[in-house]
Amino acid sequence: MIDKSALWIVIIALGVGSFAFRFVFTGLIGNRAMPDWLLRHLRYTAVAILPALVAPQVLWPAATGGSPDAPRMAAAAVTLTVGIITKNVLAAIVSGTATLYILLFFLN
Amino acid sequence: MAATTSKSIYREGVVAGLPFILVIIPFATLFGLLATEAGLSVFETLAFSVVVIAGAAQFTALQLMQENAPTIIIIASALAVNLRMAMYSASLTPYIGGAPLWQRALCAYVTVDQSYVVGIAKFEKSPEMTVPQRVAYFLGAVTPVVPLWYGFTFVGAYLGKQVPESWALDFAIPITFLAMIAPMFRTLAHVVAALVAVIVSLIVSQIPYSLGLIVAGAAGMMAGAQVELWTSREAGT
């Protein structure tokens, strides 16, 4: 059973901490110029962080207890390929999801 | 005139955020279900989603609370999962840093993976946008996401029964992020940044509390910046 006062401490600390992370640069630096080398690194934030976030979930999904899963890997590959070719987010999501469900249905 | 333009840009942002409805609904519902199953009341569950609005960090905290981890460990771990938000904030600063403080605070509260990726993709593609237009677009992108995050946390908490595992909801997040990222590979530097980040993330995936993600992200960003320097030198001088 989760202790109620601990729960509220966690909720409030996470709320304050998460807001601080989200606000730290936009809030404190604001309109002041940032150095070129820093801006050059920041241009790659999205293309680095998000693939790094999903890569372990694609190869070792928690849902299968961490063992590689063909339907999930195929779905990831199809999503990425369709996204790169069509540049259409919805088309990529729909084809990836369809791949996942079709393979899960036939393989499991 | 400026007001109408902002309004149409806000609407454009809303449209760009719409695909995420497919993800947010199952994800928020799942959080609501798991939280009530762990013993939280409907009110506590909803408060969690409203105060924190960070899916991955909320799931992490919930998991650790069920394992009776010390409060300080729970907070530190869930915040580590959210550390990438500081990187998003830094990355958004050149684009929206000129907005009034209250707008920056509002944008900060609604900075999630989805709004960040939609916003940054647009800002990079359209450098001619003004700061108010960027803020309008960003808030538009988050409009279909955040209210549904609250709403379906409530629905999940209210339903309070398990979603079948066969729905494979765990994979909704990877699929949407890959779909969002794919159109962003415009230069060699972007591709190298992603490849390096992926390789490092797999190598360091055993580092606890998701800190490996920050290491991998930083490695990818450094690789991208370096390739950009090389390619611009070859092209320019």
Whether the pLDDT of residue A87 is over 90: the answer is: no
**How far apart (Å, rounded) are the C-alpha atoms in residues A24 and A12?**
18
DSSP secondary structure letter of residue B100: -
Angstrom distances, CA of residue B59 to CA of A16, A21, A80, B132: 17, 18, 26, 34
- Domain range spanning residue A94? 48-107
| Inter-chain touch A80–B87, beta carbons under 8 Å | no
Task: Count how many domains chain A has.
Answer: 1
Residue A64 within any structural domain of the chain: yes
Q: Between B67 and B185, where is the model more confident?
A: B185
Which chain A residue lies closest to B87 (C-alpha atoms)? Answer: A45
pLDDT the model gives residue B183: 82
**Position B237 confidence tier, pLDDT thresholds 50, 70, 90:** low
Q: Of B9-23, B39-53, B74-88, B156-170, which range is least confident? A: B156-170
Nearest-neighbour CA in chain A from B106: distance (Å): 9
Q: Identity (one letter) of the amino acid at B194? A: A
Q: Tokens representing B193?
A: 């940044």
Q: How confident is the model at residue B210 (pLDDT cuts 50, 70, 90)?
A: low
Which pTM does this prediction carry? 0.77
pLDDT tier for residue B20 given thresholds of 50, 70 and 90: confident
Chain A residue with Cα closest to B124: A43
Of A11-20, A68-77, B26-35, which gets the smallest average pLDDT?
A: B26-35
The answer to whether residue A71 sits within a structural domain is: yes
Q: Which residue of A has its CA nearest to B106?
A: A23
DSSP state of B18: G
Q: Is A69 domain-assigned?
A: yes
A82 is a domain residue:
yes
> Which residues from chain B sit within 8 angstroms of residue A67, using beta carbons?
none
Give the distance from residue A92's alpha carbon to the nearest chain B alpha carbon, in angstroms: 5
Of B86, B93, B228, the CB nearest to A34: B93
In this prediction, the answer to ipTM > 0.90 reads no
Q: What is the mean pLDDT of residues A53-62?
A: 86
End-to-end CA separation in angstroms for chain B? 44
Q: Which of A29, A55, A57 sits opposite B93 (nearest CB)?
A: A29
Min Cα–Cα distance to chain A from B4, Å: 25
| In chain A, residues 60-79 whose CB comes closer than 8 Å to chain B | 60-63, 71-72, 75-76, 79
Nearest residue on chain B to A81, alpha-carbon basis? B182
Of B22, B162, B198, B171, give the one whose Cα is nearest residue A61. B171
Closest CA to B213 of A53, A43, A41, A59: A53
Closest Cβ opposite residue B170 in set A4, A61, A81: A61
Task: Judge whether A98 is closer than 8 Å to chain B, CB to CB.
Answer: no
Distance CA B141, CA B136 (A): 9
Q: Is residue A72 assigned to a domain?
A: yes
Higher-confidence residue of A55 and B80: namely: A55
